[in-house]
Amino acid sequence: MWAAVLAAVVVWLASAAGTAIGELASGPGEALIKMLVGMAIRMALPLATCVVVELSRGPLSAAGFVYFVLGFYLVALPIETVLAVRGIQGRTSG
């Protein structure tokens, strides 16, 4: 159970950090930078955590932590995409 909770927290933190830091870049010329920085943070934190957990060969590794991260990541990614698209539509329409 703790593996699932920790995986959810790691994915949530990565998603929140990627979205927040991506929002700091404003303006049409910074759209690519926003996308790349957000994507790098969103991927790097869960990936680094998975590497550390797997190399430690501890109880989190045995409990399937990596699989929980993959599952939560696959759920979080479309949610973030919908939120990002709605944010873009809100800025351009109003």
Q: What is the DSSP letter of 30?
A: G
pLDDT for 52 equals 96
Give residue 94's pLDDT.
Answer: 56
Measured between alpha carbons, how far is 72 from 15 in angstroms, rounded to an integer?
11
What's the confidence (pLDDT) of residue 80?
Answer: 85
Global confidence as pTM:
0.84
Distance, in Å, from the CA atom of 13 to the CA atom of 62, rounded to the nearest integer, reads 23
Question: For each successive 10 residues of the chain (94 residues), what is the average pLDDT?
Answer: 95 92 73 82 94 94 95 93 74 61
